[in-house]
Structure 1
């Protein structure tokens, strides 16, 4: 056996040993990062190279480049000496992020709570669930209330205008969404305001309300109104008019509320206390007497109650076409009658009182005619025919002498005793007094002489018949012995002087017929004319 040996040196290099630990899931929006879980554990020098979706050879992993899903990342280590290789593959999961979305009340109003509702979509259940919400309302003036971590928060914007609201959400894997930003317009509230006249008067105080409401964006024309007059007992306690009125029947006070709704539905209200309704004054007056006579005066005195004010005006209606404006005064009516005097007052609030009425009576004086002078035969009697026009009259005849009836009747019967003048006093309604007089001439029986001597000596020159001159309607007729009339007179104021047509009659006997009238019998006889 032939043998030959040849020897060589052989180098045996160590084999690299790769260790690649599990990698945690990462969020899609995470920044690129260095994979640190892979290494060579045997101390063999060499170079490691990463391969796979989204990873650079040096091990920089970019989730965005890789995309959503689970990917295998391979780590290959090659020794420097002999090119010995070891590899290991691990998977990495890129988690999907949530999509931030939200909605809010269709109308946002100043100083009102605006509700926000997160409508953010989730991700596959395997990738996690939304666990966090981060809101920014774009309202830094609200301080700590400008942010919220509630899923469906509310926020009060204290000023109207435009705001930018931002939401991002996070998952239970701490994956954060991109910011969702939506502009929101916060509408201004109306500025409700109104006024009313300062003073109102019962009864039926008609209060006119004047709307003064405004809004910063100038949309007052779109306002709607709801009034509450604070008077539920009235029935018609509300109105939707812009400038309504309401009738109050009590003093109050009343809480009047105006609610104003803008064109987009923002609502505000204001309440003003109405406490300027005043009670109605009460008219009243006194008069010193209620019955007087024409020409006399009444004294009227105001006794009205001005309620909660002071009297400033007096309005008197005297019922004769005249008025007065003084609180107290004397007044004279020029004609008789009944007058309904009215008074109402006005106080310093302009409130007019009830009308007070009192009737006064002005009485005319009685019309009195005691009658013409009368002639009564001595010892006879007659009725005084007085004429009186009066209401409820009383009568008094003075002096109380020679009456055959009462001296307190209208037409008394009197006896002819002596010449006398009677006064009739008549008292009518209201104590009005009138008087008149009548003269009573008592007619004594004529005393007829049967002789006279018309001879011019101044003694018995006329045929004087005593008392005949008191019979103004008497007739005297004288006849001669042949029955021829030689003298006639009506009345005997001028006695016969024994002449005919101015010529003396012959001496002798003549015959007379005297008719005194006035109820006295005719006298006849003779008379001798001597000289």
Structure 2
């Protein structure tokens, strides 16, 4: 039992009851230990216990905790070291520790305290947390206070992608250098580093090749968030010559060409008709007929386009009035209006002479439809493969 004095502890009187309220601070009470079976008491060993009342801690609400966004792609998220607020919340009290909570219910119940307080990632912006101060000796807790987290977005901007600075192929001087940069308005400052020196304007003119770097600072918040980007320009010039070499003869089983760009200092890529761009000028297994090859500087300093034709013949045609393959002709000879094309039946009878620039044969003879069967042709032309006059004979099918 516990007693207010030694005498009462020895006499076994005045025992304190649960819910005892101290009368002084500190206050000493005395402990009587009695054997409940024998009633014996060691009167030479009356122990004492000092009761001390510690004040309830208080928590001071801190100023809004502001940080710049961690990542430019997520303007609402940052990593907060909540423990950096401890001193402001404790406000000089001794033997205190701070716990942080995500909800008021958790704070009131003192449960689910934030474990990673040194690297807390906010879940909304702004976000309200709750803090309580704990007396480390007594475990007493303060009332909760609000902690506001605010993420300030980076002043994100994008300079153009690395590019070629178009120059004259003869002089190497810049032509039509772009203006680059961005003006975000009031409250922002700009710092450029360029091949020509430094500048504090929102935009600069690209006049020489090299790297242009811009840092923008947002002065509208105390965090002064910054963001940087750079672009590198390399001098280049457009191609001036495009040579196309047909590497297979007319009427071959496959048609191949090689295109070569020259006369400039750029890096070039090639395109056949409306197809994909590629690094080489070799094109294989092409369909007969008219084509174009375009060569361009990969960074936009110009392009050249040249057309060519691959000569072959239609294997069949269907003059059925349905507008699908209604006539027959040699493919890829429109640029040779002097070429001659003769059509024969299987017995060698001449049915028609046509021009490669004309509509072709409609499958009639003297106005009468010819039957479905094979017909023969002879064509006299100049082969672009080697530039020599040639004659080619073969047959095709009329289908009805």
Q: TM-score, normalised by structure 1?
A: 0.29
Higher strand share: 1
Q: TM-score, normalised by structure 2?
A: 0.37
Structure with bigger RCO (C-alpha 8 Å, 6+ apart): 2
Larger Rg: 1
